[in-house]
Amino acid sequence: MTHSQTANEIIERRACISGVGQSDVGRRLFRDPLELTLDACLAAIDHAGLTTSDIDGLATYPGPMSTPAGFSGAGAYDVMDALRLNCGWYSGGLETSGQLGSVINACLAVASGLANHVLCFRSVWEGSAQGGQGRSSVMPGGSGGSFKASGFMEWTLPFSAPSAAIWIAQFAQRHFHLYGTTKEQMGWIAINARRNAALNPKAIYTEPMSMDDYLNARVISTPFGLFDCDAPCDGATAMIVSRLDRAHDLRNPPLRVEAVGSAIHGRPSWDQFDDLSTMANRDAGAQMWSRTDLKPSDVQMLQAYDGFTFLTMSWIEALGFCKVGESGPFIDGGTRIARDGELPLNTHGGQLSGGRLHGYGFLHEAATQMWGQAGARQIARNVEVGAVAAGGGNTCGCLLLVKD
Amino acid sequence: MSSEAEAVPFRILPRLTDANREFWQGGEVNELRFWRCQDCAQYIHPPLPICPSCHGKNLRVEPVSGRATLTTFSVNHQAWMPGPELPYCVAIIEIMEDPRVRLTTNIVNCDHDALVIGMPLRAIFEHHVDPEGDVWIPLFEPEVKP
């Protein structure tokens, strides 16, 4: 079904990205997470050519959370109060289509007329929170004792499977089994990220990484080694979603939202999903393409979530850049996905090397590249159409941006 | 065989409820059990107050054979939390009676190099004594010892 056959307008096209901002980013900054959040928010507002009095909407992921430590640096109310915002609409929450589900919500809010300029933000301080103890220090029940598992963790914690590294490694293992995908192929996601991070002044890991380095890294959970896992960090990222008809006189040319994908059709579960060779990104990707006449071959740049290497491969398939099962050969050798390749990928170093800014970093990078503001890592080609995707498992969302 | 029982690893136990007690305690009599709709025969996991297929409430817990197939796995080397000796195998299995019913579990009594997706498995149970109610964690081992 093409969009011309649907009864309804593709209302996300009334929305655009008008500005982006980011705080300092570091492995362990030991700064007030709200301060980092506000740094990013004010930078985005200024970048758009707006002031706080223009902001009448607020969206964030995941909202305030005390556990796991460092996962959320601020909630919507924190920012609303600190910046004394008057909002026509606001939203913060975890149960949405990935981290960028919050941005998709903002697009719908401006399209519906509830707000004109929505400030969207994501803030993390996992680097400081984990300190020298590593991720084990923030695992639920990680200290033992009488803690009991409930909710969806009831079905993983008793089996000593507390980490998304394990859950997603199982998807990768099945992909290897079904399609002959190899560890070396998967490694090109990590190597590509590292070579791009070298040109990103905010990136966490910038020293060159060879395939041998990648293959010889300490094993985490097969087939994942250390360099298949993203780097916890501190930092906040923000962007302004504006009504397109209010954005033409702002500082940056608007990046119109051509289509979004927010669907999930299988069971909303990591282990009960109907087809473990894919994820909810299958549904989000298909929905996005059903809302536009553009095709994957029109996309000139992809920024796709890499909390773990395999998630990027899963997105490449879900978004139709290759068939399901063929992402291994697609990325093999790393030339196609390089900055000068046919589909530049994660040009800021992703979360693997750039730092785990959790979803928002990909949209920040897409906009930065499309505005030609990426400095040393700017890709040479003029990007008219860019795709952005974030999340994995049961929480996946994607957007297609076009220069208006 | 040693007379001493093998040490039971630390595990975070589930909070027992009326909905999940039959699942977590079935191992006392060596039974893997699931809720099942008595009207449309659908197995229901995790537990729900209604059948997700027919929305009926005529639900009962039934034992299954304990036989299953290995859907996928990961051999975990990272010490995320106190637990089994490293490395240990986390897996997703599907039960023989209905491949739509999966469990995240551990594969035990199997050389990690011998793990193959699709291999037949059977349930065994690891007993944990707890003041809030004992729990029998369902783990899986190869049905045919390699």
Helical residues (DSSP H) of chain B, grouped into ranges: 21-25
Query: A25 in a domain, yes or no?
Result: yes
CATH of residue A256's domain is 3.40.47.10
SS3 B143: coil
- Written as six digits, the tokens of A109 are 């809010």
Bridge partners (DSSP) of residue A243 are A15
Cβ <8 Å between A141 and B92: no
B20 touches chain A (CB under 8 A): yes
SS3 B81: coil
pLDDT for A1: 45
Quick one: average pLDDT of B12-27? 97
Distance CA A306, CA A352 (A): 6
- Phi, psi of A310, rounded to the nearest 5 degrees: -65, -30
Cβ <8 Å between B72 and A148: no
Tally the residues of chain A: 404
- Phi, psi of A366, rounded to the nearest 5 degrees: -60, -45
SS3 B50: coil
pLDDT for A138: 72
Cβ <8 Å between A136 and B76: no
Distance from CA of A149 to the nearest CA of B (A): 4
Cβ <8 Å between A161 and B104: yes
- Written as six digits, the tokens of A86 are 């008057």
Distances (CA, A) of A113 to A7, A50, A245, A249, B128: 20, 18, 11, 19, 57
Residue in B46, B74, B104 closest to A222 by CB: B74
pLDDT for B2: 38
Distance CA A348, CA A361 (A): 8
How many structural domains comprise chain A?
1
pLDDT for B4: 42
Query: Which residues in chain A are contacts of B92 at CB distance < 8 A?
Result: 170, 271, 276
Which H or E run includes A130? helix A126-130
Distance CA A302, CA A324 (A): 17
pLDDT for A142: 55
Q: What are A253-294's pLDDT values in tens digits?
A: 999 999 999 999 999 999 999 999 899 999 999 999 999 999
Domain that holds residue A306: 3-131+230-403
pLDDT for B3: 37
**A181, A331 Cβ separation under 8 angstroms:** no
Nearest residue of chain A to residue B81 (CA atoms) = A142
- Phi, psi of A79, rounded to the nearest 5 degrees: -75, -40
pLDDT for A396: 98
Q: Is the pLDDT of residue A48 over 90?
A: yes
Query: A237 in a domain, yes or no?
Result: yes
Distance from CA of A227 to the nearest CA of B (A): 14
Q: Is the pLDDT of residue A83 over 60?
A: yes
Q: What are A367-392's pLDDT values in tens digits?
A: 999 999 999 999 999 999 999 999 99
ipTM reported for the complex, 2 dp = 0.96
Entry pTM: 0.96
- Phi, psi of A257, rounded to the nearest 5 degrees: -85, 110
Mutate to test the interface with B, among A175, A222, A308 (most CBs of B within 10 A): A222
Q: Is the pLDDT of residue A201 over 80?
A: yes
pLDDT confidence tier of residue A5, bands split at 50, 70 and 90: very low
- Phi, psi of A101, rounded to the nearest 5 degrees: -55, -35
Query: Which residues in chain A are contacts of B14 at CB distance < 8 A?
Result: 148-150, 154, 157-158
Q: In terms of C-beta density within 10 A (0-12 exposed, 13-18 middle, 19 or more buried), how is residue A376 classed?
A: exposed
Tally the residues of chain B: 146
More confident: A313 or A146: A313
pLDDT confidence tier of residue B7, bands split at 50, 70 and 90: confident
What percentage of chain A has pLDDT greater than the value 90?
Answer: 93
Cβ <8 Å between B76 and A174: no
B11 touches chain A (CB under 8 A): yes
**A260, A111 Cβ separation under 8 angstroms:** no
**A241, A381 Cβ separation under 8 angstroms:** no
B10 touches chain A (CB under 8 A): yes
- Written as six digits, the tokens of B45 are 């996991």
Distance from CA of B79 to the nearest CA of A (A): 7
B47 touches chain A (CB under 8 A): no
Q: Pick the closest to residue A94 from A59, A137, A140 (CA basis).
A: A59
Residue in A150, A170, A276 closest to B74 by CB: A170
- Written as six digits, the tokens of A281 are 């990104």
Cβ <8 Å between B72 and A276: yes
Q: In terms of C-beta density within 10 A (0-12 exposed, 13-18 middle, 19 or more buried), how is residue A325 classed?
A: middle
Q: Is the pLDDT of residue A194 over 60?
A: yes
Q: What is the mean pLDDT of chain A?
A: 95
Distance CA B76, CA B69 (A): 20
Query: A197 in a domain, yes or no?
Result: no
pLDDT for A286: 98
**A93, A123 Cβ separation under 8 angstroms:** no
Q: What are A302-338's pLDDT values in tens digits?
A: 999 999 999 999 999 999 999 999 999 999 999 999 9
Distance from CA of A329 to the nearest CA of B (A): 22
Quick one: average pLDDT of A119-143? 82
Span of A3-17, A94-108, A123-137, A311-325 with lowest mean pLDDT: A3-17
Distance from CA of A17 to the nearest CA of B (A): 39
Distance CA A105, CA A151 (A): 26
Chain A positions contacting chain B at CB under 8 Å are 135-136, 139-142, 144, 147-150, 154-163, 165-167, 169-171, 173-174, 177, 218-224, 270-272, 274, 276
Cβ <8 Å between B135 and A272: no
Residue ranges of domains in chain B: 21-142
pLDDT for B62: 98
Quick one: average pLDDT of A213-224? 98
Query: Which residues in chain A are contacts of B82 at CB distance < 8 A?
Result: 142, 144
pLDDT confidence tier of residue B74, bands split at 50, 70 and 90: very high
- Written as six digits, the tokens of A363 are 């949209």
